[in-house]
Protein backbone atom coordinates (compact mmCIF):
# COMPACT_ATOMS: atom_id res chain seq x y z
CA UNK A 1 0.00 0.00 0.00
CA UNK A 2 1.17 3.52 -0.84
CA UNK A 3 0.26 6.80 0.87
CA UNK A 4 0.54 9.63 -1.68
CA UNK A 5 1.36 13.08 -0.26
CA UNK A 6 1.10 15.98 -2.76
CA UNK A 7 3.30 19.03 -2.03
CA UNK A 8 3.67 22.44 -3.62
CA UNK A 9 5.55 25.23 -1.83
CA UNK A 10 4.82 23.79 1.62
CA UNK A 11 7.96 24.97 3.45
CA UNK A 12 5.71 25.95 6.38
CA UNK A 13 4.90 22.27 6.91
CA UNK A 14 8.51 21.07 6.92
CA UNK A 15 9.13 21.52 10.68
CA UNK A 16 6.31 19.08 11.44
CA UNK A 17 6.88 16.69 8.53
CA UNK A 18 8.84 14.05 10.43
CA UNK A 19 6.01 14.01 12.94
CA UNK A 20 3.46 13.60 10.16
CA UNK A 21 5.39 10.66 8.72
CA UNK A 22 5.44 9.08 12.16
CA UNK A 23 1.72 9.71 12.74
CA UNK A 24 0.76 8.22 9.39
CA UNK A 25 2.83 5.09 10.01
CA UNK A 26 1.44 4.71 13.53
CA UNK A 27 -2.17 5.00 12.41
CA UNK A 28 -1.54 2.37 9.71
CA UNK A 29 0.40 0.06 12.01
CA UNK A 30 0.08 -3.55 10.89
CA UNK A 31 0.12 -2.64 7.18
CA UNK A 32 3.10 -2.56 4.85
CA UNK A 33 3.21 1.16 4.03
CA UNK A 34 5.19 3.11 1.45
CA UNK A 35 5.08 6.91 1.80
CA UNK A 36 5.40 8.73 -1.52
CA UNK A 37 5.71 12.53 -1.67
CA UNK A 38 4.97 14.20 -5.02
CA UNK A 39 6.67 17.59 -5.20
CA UNK A 40 4.80 19.60 -7.80
CA UNK A 41 7.66 21.91 -8.84
CA UNK A 42 8.16 23.67 -5.50
CA UNK A 43 10.47 26.70 -5.45
CA UNK A 44 10.55 27.52 -1.71
CA UNK A 45 12.84 24.84 -0.28
CA UNK A 46 10.18 22.15 -0.03
CA UNK A 47 12.19 19.87 -2.34
CA UNK A 48 15.28 19.91 -0.12
CA UNK A 49 13.15 19.43 2.97
CA UNK A 50 11.43 16.36 1.52
CA UNK A 51 14.76 14.83 0.49
CA UNK A 52 15.98 15.07 4.08
CA UNK A 53 13.14 12.97 5.54
CA UNK A 54 14.06 9.33 6.04
CA UNK A 55 11.59 6.70 4.87
CA UNK A 56 9.92 9.06 2.39
CA UNK A 57 10.15 8.40 -1.34
CA UNK A 58 10.01 11.57 -3.44
CA UNK A 59 8.95 12.15 -7.05
CA UNK A 60 9.39 15.67 -8.40
CA UNK A 61 7.75 17.57 -11.25
CA UNK A 62 10.23 19.89 -12.94
CA UNK A 63 7.53 22.59 -13.12
CA UNK A 64 4.36 23.33 -11.18
CA UNK A 65 1.53 21.52 -12.95
CA UNK A 66 -1.27 21.47 -10.38
CA UNK A 67 -2.56 19.33 -7.54
CA UNK A 68 -4.45 17.08 -9.96
CA UNK A 69 -1.24 16.36 -11.84
CA UNK A 70 0.45 15.50 -8.53
CA UNK A 71 -2.39 13.10 -7.71
CA UNK A 72 -2.10 11.47 -11.14
CA UNK A 73 1.66 11.04 -10.75
CA UNK A 74 1.23 9.62 -7.27
CA UNK A 75 -1.37 7.07 -8.34
CA UNK A 76 0.73 6.01 -11.33
CA UNK A 77 3.88 5.67 -9.20
CA UNK A 78 2.12 3.94 -6.29
CA UNK A 79 2.81 0.30 -5.51
CA UNK A 80 0.71 -2.35 -3.84
CA UNK A 81 -2.98 -3.10 -4.19
CA UNK A 82 -4.25 0.19 -2.74
CA UNK A 83 -3.29 3.84 -2.55
CA UNK A 84 -4.29 6.49 -0.05
CA UNK A 85 -4.10 10.14 -1.08
CA UNK A 86 -3.59 12.37 1.96
CA UNK A 87 -3.14 16.14 2.32
CA UNK A 88 0.04 16.82 4.34
CA UNK A 89 -1.57 19.96 5.80
CA UNK A 90 -3.55 17.58 8.06
CA UNK A 91 -6.86 19.29 7.45
CA UNK A 92 -8.08 15.75 8.11
CA UNK A 93 -6.49 13.97 11.06
CA UNK A 94 -4.44 10.88 10.10
CA UNK A 95 -6.96 8.70 11.90
CA UNK A 96 -9.16 8.86 8.78
CA UNK A 97 -6.62 6.73 6.86
CA UNK A 98 -7.34 3.26 8.35
CA UNK A 99 -11.06 3.90 8.06
CA UNK A 100 -10.68 4.73 4.36
CA UNK A 101 -8.57 1.63 3.84
CA UNK A 102 -11.12 -0.57 5.59
CA UNK A 103 -13.86 0.84 3.35
CA UNK A 104 -12.11 -0.69 0.31
CA UNK A 105 -13.44 -4.05 1.53
CA UNK A 106 -16.73 -2.95 -0.02
CA UNK A 107 -15.67 -0.39 -2.63
CA UNK A 108 -13.20 0.57 -5.36
CA UNK A 109 -12.93 4.15 -4.10
CA UNK A 110 -13.56 5.50 -0.60
CA UNK A 111 -13.65 9.24 0.00
CA UNK A 112 -13.49 11.23 3.21
CA UNK A 113 -16.78 13.09 3.57
CA UNK A 114 -17.16 16.08 5.89
CA UNK A 115 -20.63 16.72 4.45
CA UNK A 116 -21.89 13.27 5.38
CA UNK A 117 -24.55 13.49 8.14
CA UNK A 118 -21.99 11.99 10.54
CA UNK A 119 -19.16 14.24 9.30
CA UNK A 120 -18.23 17.69 10.56
CA UNK A 121 -16.50 20.94 9.63
CA UNK A 122 -14.72 23.25 12.05
CA UNK A 123 -13.01 26.59 11.51
CA UNK A 124 -13.33 26.71 7.72
CA UNK A 125 -14.35 30.07 6.24
CA UNK A 126 -18.08 30.38 5.57
CA UNK A 127 -17.72 31.57 1.96
CA UNK A 128 -15.34 28.83 0.91
CA UNK A 129 -17.47 26.25 2.72
CA UNK A 130 -20.57 27.51 0.90
CA UNK A 131 -18.89 27.14 -2.49
CA UNK A 132 -17.61 23.65 -1.68
CA UNK A 133 -21.01 22.48 -0.49
CA UNK A 134 -22.67 24.01 -3.54
CA UNK A 135 -20.25 22.23 -5.88
CA UNK A 136 -20.91 18.89 -4.22
CA UNK A 137 -24.67 19.49 -4.46
CA UNK A 138 -24.36 20.20 -8.19
CA UNK A 139 -22.29 17.06 -8.77
CA UNK A 140 -24.82 15.03 -6.79
CA UNK A 141 -27.64 16.40 -8.96
CA UNK A 142 -25.77 15.76 -12.22
CA UNK A 143 -24.54 12.25 -11.37
CA UNK A 144 -27.72 11.16 -9.54
CA UNK A 145 -25.43 9.54 -6.97
CA UNK A 146 -26.34 9.66 -3.25
CA UNK A 147 -22.96 11.08 -2.23
CA UNK A 148 -22.57 14.19 -0.06
CA UNK A 149 -18.95 15.10 -0.82
CA UNK A 150 -17.31 15.19 -4.27
CA UNK A 151 -14.48 17.70 -3.81
CA UNK A 152 -12.40 16.12 -1.03
CA UNK A 153 -9.09 14.71 -2.31
CA UNK A 154 -8.41 12.54 0.77
CA UNK A 155 -9.26 9.11 -0.57
CA UNK A 156 -8.47 5.42 -0.73
CA UNK A 157 -8.34 3.72 -4.12
CA UNK A 158 -7.97 0.18 -5.32
CA UNK A 159 -5.02 0.77 -7.61
CA UNK A 160 -6.16 -1.25 -10.64
CA UNK A 161 -9.48 0.62 -10.57
CA UNK A 162 -7.85 4.01 -9.99
CA UNK A 163 -5.62 3.66 -13.02
CA UNK A 164 -8.68 3.15 -15.22
CA UNK A 165 -9.72 6.70 -14.27
CA UNK A 166 -6.44 8.46 -15.11
CA UNK A 167 -5.25 10.95 -16.08
CA UNK A 168 -7.19 13.41 -13.96
CA UNK A 169 -7.33 17.13 -14.77
CA UNK A 170 -4.24 18.95 -13.53
CA UNK A 171 -6.19 21.42 -11.40
CA UNK A 172 -8.33 21.35 -8.25
CA UNK A 173 -11.25 19.67 -10.06
CA UNK A 174 -9.30 16.40 -10.06
CA UNK A 175 -11.00 15.02 -6.94
CA UNK A 176 -14.49 15.61 -8.33
CA UNK A 177 -13.46 14.29 -11.74
CA UNK A 178 -12.13 11.02 -10.33
CA UNK A 179 -15.25 10.22 -8.33
CA UNK A 180 -17.59 11.27 -11.17
CA UNK A 181 -15.65 9.16 -13.66
CA UNK A 182 -15.67 6.21 -11.24
CA UNK A 183 -19.46 6.49 -11.00
CA UNK A 184 -19.76 6.73 -14.79
CA UNK A 185 -17.73 3.52 -15.13
CA UNK A 186 -19.90 1.68 -12.62
CA UNK A 187 -17.24 1.41 -9.91
CA UNK A 188 -18.24 1.16 -6.27
CA UNK A 189 -17.83 4.47 -4.43
CA UNK A 190 -18.45 4.94 -0.70
CA UNK A 191 -18.13 7.84 1.74
CA UNK A 192 -16.43 7.71 5.11
CA UNK A 193 -17.62 10.42 7.55
CA UNK A 194 -14.76 12.76 8.41
CA UNK A 195 -13.98 15.99 10.24
CA UNK A 196 -12.56 18.82 8.13
CA UNK A 197 -10.58 21.45 10.04
CA UNK A 198 -8.30 24.38 9.31
CA UNK A 199 -4.91 23.32 7.95
CA UNK A 200 -2.04 23.16 10.44
CA UNK A 201 0.24 25.66 8.65
CA UNK A 202 0.75 27.46 5.35
CA UNK A 203 -1.94 28.54 2.92
CA UNK A 204 -4.07 26.90 0.27
CA UNK A 205 -2.80 27.27 -3.29
CA UNK A 206 -6.28 27.16 -4.78
CA UNK A 207 -7.31 30.14 -6.93
CA UNK A 208 -10.96 30.44 -6.00
CA UNK A 209 -12.67 31.83 -9.09
CA UNK A 210 -10.45 29.91 -11.50
CA UNK A 211 -11.47 26.75 -9.68
CA UNK A 212 -15.15 27.71 -9.73
CA UNK A 213 -15.00 28.15 -13.52
CA UNK A 214 -13.21 24.81 -13.91
CA UNK A 215 -15.89 23.03 -11.87
CA UNK A 216 -18.62 24.59 -13.99
CA UNK A 217 -16.90 23.30 -17.14
CA UNK A 218 -16.60 19.83 -15.66
CA UNK A 219 -20.25 19.83 -14.61
CA UNK A 220 -21.19 20.85 -18.15
CA UNK A 221 -19.17 18.00 -19.62
CA UNK A 222 -20.52 15.16 -17.48
CA UNK A 223 -20.59 12.18 -18.00
CA UNK A 224 -16.86 12.63 -17.84
CA UNK A 225 -14.30 11.59 -20.41
CA UNK A 226 -10.51 11.62 -20.06
CA UNK A 227 -8.90 15.06 -20.38
CA UNK A 228 -8.06 15.75 -24.00
CA UNK A 229 -10.38 13.04 -25.37
CA UNK A 230 -12.41 13.89 -28.45
Q: What is the DSSP string of 104-169?
A: TTS-SEEEEETTSTT-EEES--HHHHHHHHHHHHHHHHHHT---S-SS---EEEEHHHHHHHPSPP
What angle do the packed helices 208-221 and 174-184 form, to 10 degrees? 10
> In the chain, what percentage of residues exceed pLDDT 70?
92
- Total residues belonging to the chain: 230
Provide the whole-model pTM.
0.89
**Phi and psi dihedrals of 66, rounded to 5?**
125, 155
What per-residue confidence (pLDDT) applies to 202?
A: 53
What per-residue confidence (pLDDT) applies to 229?
A: 40
Three-class SS state of 179: helix
Rounded distance between C-alpha atoms, residue 42 and residue 60, angstroms: 9
What per-residue confidence (pLDDT) applies to 170?
A: 93
Judged on CB neighbours under 10 Å (0-12, 13-18, 19+), 66 is: buried
Three-class SS state of 60: strand
Q: What is the pLDDT of residues 88-138, one digit of tens each?
A: 999 999 999 999 999 999 999 999 999 999 999 987 777 778 888 888 999
Overall average pLDDT of the 1-6 stretch = 97
Give 2-221's CATH code, choosing from 3.40.47.10, 3.90.550.10, 3.40.50.720, 1.10.579.10: 3.90.550.10
Task: Specify the range with the lowest mean pLDDT, choosing from 15-24, 111-120, 127-136, 142-151.
Answer: 127-136
Amino acid sequence: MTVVLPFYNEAALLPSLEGLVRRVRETLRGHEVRLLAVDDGSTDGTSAGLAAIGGLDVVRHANNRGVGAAMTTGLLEATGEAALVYDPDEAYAPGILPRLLEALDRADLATASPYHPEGAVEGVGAFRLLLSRAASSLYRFRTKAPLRTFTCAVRAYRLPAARELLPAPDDFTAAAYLVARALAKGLRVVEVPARLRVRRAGASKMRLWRTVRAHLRLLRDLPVTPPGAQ
